[in-house]
Structures are given as C-alpha cells and as structure tokens.
C-alpha cells in the first residue's frame, strides 16, 4: 500500500518533490527505497530524495540544503564530489566501465591496502561489505573446518543469511526479531552475545569448544549508534582466539581507513587475522574487500578451494576511486587528524548544549564517528542503545532536519563527519541542537 504520508506535518519546509517522488517510488521499489534505513520508518516522515551533493552538503529534490552527517555511511571522508576522485573517475571511465579480466589497477589497490594494513598479506576485492563479510566467514570455516561463528548483538555485518541474527542497523531500526527467508540451518551456526561482554563470549566459546571457526566484530560499532569497545574487550577476543585457534575477523567496513591510515587495527592496536573492508575503500563506489594473513587467505580459490568470485570484483572505476581516496589518506594522514579534531570540537559543543538542556544523554565518540544517545547510563551494548529514549531521538532528528542538519534517520546508526565541514557548519549543528532541544523537550 502506498504510504499516505501521515508525518507530513513534521516538515515545515517545502519537500513536495520528495513527497511526490516517494509516492512514485513506492509503486515500483519495495517501500520506495533500495535500502531499508533510508525509508525514515523509525523516525517517521518522508525520506528526502537527494538531487546532488557537494563538499559537506546534500541538496534534496526541492533544493533544500543540509549539512550531511551520513557521508554515505562512511566513505565521504573528504566530502562529496571530492575533486581528485571525480577527476580520476572521469579519466578512467573513457577506457570502459568493466572488463571481467584482471588489470594493473587491482594490483596497485592490493599493494596499497597491504602497505596501509601491514598484517594483510593477501586481499581479494569484492563489490560490497556484505560480500566481504560473508566471504571472510566462509574462509574461516574453510580454513578451520568448523561451522559456527560468534557475532555480537547489534553489530551488523551485511545482509547475508547467517548475519541476520540479532543484527543492528536496519534490522534493529525496524525491530525485526527473526528474518523470514533465513532458514534455521543458516542461522543455527551463528552464536551471539552482548558487545563488550567478554565473560559471555568466553562462556560461549567454552560451551562450543572446538566448534567455532571465527569471531567477527565491529571494532568500533556503528550500527547501534556509535559504541566503543571497552578497554580490554578486543584484546580479550584476541587472546581467546589465539588460545582456541579461532579466526579473529575485524569488520572494518565503516572504520577501515577512516579511523586511521591503518584503520581500526592501527587506531586500537589490535592485530586481526582477517579484515573486511567496504564502502570507504571505494570512495563511495560499490566496493568491498577481505584480506588477512597469508596462510589463511591461501584457501581462497583459485589458490585453494574456498570458492568466491564476482564479475564486478576489482571493477576499474571502483578501483580508481578507492585507490585515489586511499592514496590521499596514506600520503596525508594529517587530514584524518583534522577530521578527528573537528569531531572533537562538535562533541564539546554538543556536550555543552545537551548538558544545559537537562535531558539525560550520552555522547559516544571516537575519531570521526560519533552519536548522541538519549540515555542516562553509559551506552556500551545493544540493550543500552535500545533502552535509550529513542522517541526523543525521533523528535530530535526532525527538529534538526528542518534546521538543515541531516542526521542518520535512526538512533541505531553512527554519524560520520567529513573533512569538508567548516567550523561554521559545526557551530550551526551545535546551535541547531540547542534550538531543537528547546523545541522538543
């Protein structure tokens, strides 16, 4: 049924074209969107249809301008339509968009990733973070000969069947407990425990001794809002993986090369066995990769028999975009420091106005990932994120949106800053928060 726009009154600005487009979209696209979080379901209202973006700003179909805190969920580290990227893509496009055959560009990309993440000996390019994570699990299973793996509640590793168990992001946003279509067979080998709960994880490992192929984690969780690993959590997983010969997988789809030149591995000082990358390494084009230690990655076909393939894997346009972005991060890591400083500035400003409002809140923040949880207690796992006042988040989201600040349309997503943001943009965001809180509290 076509949405009757019950939340139209949330908007005081003209979003008539988006409203029309959403109505039209619902006639030919499930829910009118190609990825569920975009539908604004948990915050209500009409999703904005974007016409263009430049630097720190998004422009919707009615020409409203917004400061963008989604950054395409991570990759727009230097802002939208970043000139070196646009130029590289244009120059490459004239040589065709896909070959289905190897190119030198893929080697350059692999060499660059290896130089930035020194424990990656071999890396295979794929087309999305989902593909990267599901392939990494397959590799871990193939290598160890074991079937089960552990993931943490509220972490999201893409939409492959085995990951849709207690997942974050859209699954949490839509509060889907069991995903129809995922068979018990596919889900039975997925074991879950709370993020940051090392004891629960150790118990699981004991109960399933010798059965666990891998433990996969978002080193900084970004799919239940931003949640940081407690000191010792990741180190504890590393220790248990070593003791039990379990493959430790870092899902760096959001953090990879955003948090540091060497990703979260470098930022947090953890050496994973396999690492998955996603949108960031394509500069916003559909790219993913999984890689890691040689003796494990050697099971991948055609070297070994763990099969994995893709016509668009290593696509030349995606490779040049990713290569250009990663090269800039590699050569000028001080740009990431600039971005981190901007995020710290934003955090300080938000802290002041939230404190002044008297509402309970927590700000979780690391590097250029940040999120506000309307909760009086620390938000260190999914249960805490879910028990925050997410009705208030919904009001905050809309109050900010109409002030031209585009936050993720769910409390279960991290915000991502980009380095095109100016101090004026950050001040505007802080001021909009102060005004919004006055309006909604």
Q: How many CB atoms lie within 10 A of CB 324?
A: 18
For residue 425, indicate whether it is catalytic. Answer: no
Pairing of strands 50-54, 57-60: antiparallel
Which residues in 148-167 contact ligand HOZ (CB under 6 A)?
Answer: 156
User: Which residues 6+ apart lie within 8 Å of 353 measured at CB?
Assistant: 430, 433, 434, 437
Task: Give SS3 for 342.
Answer: helix
Q: Is 37 in the site for ligand HOZ (CB under 6 A)?
A: yes
Q: Is 276 in the site for ligand HOZ (CB under 6 A)?
A: no
Query: Segment near ligand HOZ (CB under 6 A), from 32-40, 134-142, 258-266, 326-334?
Result: 32-40
Q: Which is nearer to ligand HOZ, 156 or 382 (CB)?
A: 156
Is residue 277 a contact partner of residue 253, using CB atoms and an 8 Å limit?
Answer: yes
Q: Which is nearer to ligand HOZ, 38 or 151 (CB)?
A: 38
Biggest CA pair distance of the chain: 61
Query: Segment near ligand HOZ (CB under 6 A), from 12-20, 33-41, 336-344, 429-437?
Result: 33-41
* Burial call 325-361: b when 16+ CB within 10 Å, e when fewer: bbbbbeeeeeebeebbebbebbbebbeebbeebeeeb
Q: Which is nearer to ligand HOZ, 169 or 364 (CB)?
A: 169
Q: Is 38 in the site for ligand HOZ (CB under 6 A)?
A: yes
DSSP character for 304? S
In the complex, minimum distance from the CB of residue 283 to ligand HOZ, in angstroms, rounded to a whole number: 15
For residue 345, indicate whether it is catalytic. Answer: no
Which residues in 229-248 contact ligand HOZ (CB under 6 A)?
Answer: none
* Cα 277 to Cα 285, 287, 340, 381, distances in angstroms: 13, 8, 20, 23
State CA 356 to chain mean position distance.
Answer: 31
Of 8, 13, 14, 35, the one binding ligand HOZ by CB under 6 A:
35
Dihedral of the alpha carbons of 77, 83, 85, 87, in degrees to the nearest 10: 180
For residue 323, indicate whether it is catalytic. Answer: no
Length of the chain, please?
441
Q: Which of 41, 279, 293, 395 is catalytic?
A: 279
Q: Which is nearer to ligand HOZ, 156 or 374 (CB)?
A: 156
Q: Which of 156, 195, 277, 323 is catalytic?
A: 156
Q: Is 176 in the site for ligand HOZ (CB under 6 A)?
A: no
Q: Is 73 in the site for ligand HOZ (CB under 6 A)?
A: yes
Q: Is 413 in the site for ligand HOZ (CB under 6 A)?
A: yes
Which residues in 373-412 contact ligand HOZ (CB under 6 A)?
Answer: none
Burial bucket for residue 271 (CB in 10 Å: 0-12, 13-18, 19+): middle
Q: Where on the chain is the footprint of ligand HOZ (CB under 6 A)?
A: 35, 37-38, 73, 156, 169-170, 223, 413
């Amino acid at each position: 049924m076509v949405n009757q726009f019950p939340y139209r009154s949330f908007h005081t600005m003209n979003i008539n074209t988006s409203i029309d487009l959403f109505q039209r979209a619902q006639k030919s696209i499930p829910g009118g969107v190609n990825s569920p979080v975009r539908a604004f379901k948990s915050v209500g209202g009409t999703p904005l249809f974007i016409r263009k973006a430049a630097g720190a700003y998004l422009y919707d179909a009615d020409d409203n301008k917004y400061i963008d805190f989604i950054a395409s969920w991570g990759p727009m580290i230097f802002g939208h339509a970043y000139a070196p990227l646009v130029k590289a893509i244009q120059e490459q496009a004239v040589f065709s968009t896909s070959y289905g055959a190897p190119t030198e560009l893929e080697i350059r990309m692999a060499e660059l990733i290896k130089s930035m993440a020194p424990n990656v000996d071999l890396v295979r390019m794929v087309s999305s973070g989902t593909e990267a994570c599901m392939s990494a699990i397959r590799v871990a299973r193939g290598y160890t000969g074991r079937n089960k793996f552990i993931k943490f509640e509220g972490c999201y590793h893409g939409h492959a069947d085995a990951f849709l168990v207690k997942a974050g992001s859209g699954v949490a946003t839509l509060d889907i407990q069991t995903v129809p279509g995922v068979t018990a067979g596919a889900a039975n080998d997925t074991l879950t425990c709370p993020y940051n709960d090392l004891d629960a994880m150790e118990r699981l490992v004991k109960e399933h001794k010798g059965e666990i192929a891998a433990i996969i984690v978002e080193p900084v969780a970004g799919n239940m809002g931003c949640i940081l690993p407690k000191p010792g959590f990741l180190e504890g997983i590393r220790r248990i993986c070593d003791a039990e010969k379990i493959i430790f997988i870092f899902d760096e789809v959001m953090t990879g090369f955003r948090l540091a030149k060497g990703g979260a591995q470098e930022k947090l000082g953890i050496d994973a066995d396999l690492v998955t990358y996603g949108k960031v390494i394509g500069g916003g084009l559909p790219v993913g990769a999984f890689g890691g230690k040689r003796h494990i990655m050697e099971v991948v076909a055609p070297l070994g028999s763990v099969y994995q393939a893709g016509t668009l894997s290593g696509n030349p346009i995606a490779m040049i975009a990713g290569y250009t972005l990663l090269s800039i991060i590699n050569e000028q890591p001080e740009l990431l420091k600039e971005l981190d400083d901007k995020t710290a500035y934003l955090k300080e400003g938000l802290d002041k106005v939230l404190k002044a409002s008297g509402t309970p809140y927590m700000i979780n923040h690391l590097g250029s990932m940040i999120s506000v949880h309307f909760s009086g207690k620390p938000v260190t796992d999914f249960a805490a994120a879910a028990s925050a006042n997410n009705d208030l988040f919904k009001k905050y989201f809309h109050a900010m949106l109409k002030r031209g600040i585009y936050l993720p349309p769910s409390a279960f997503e991290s915000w991502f800053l980009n380095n095109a943001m100016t101090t004026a943009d950050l001040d505007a965001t802080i001021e909009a928060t102060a005004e919004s809180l006055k309006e909604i509290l």
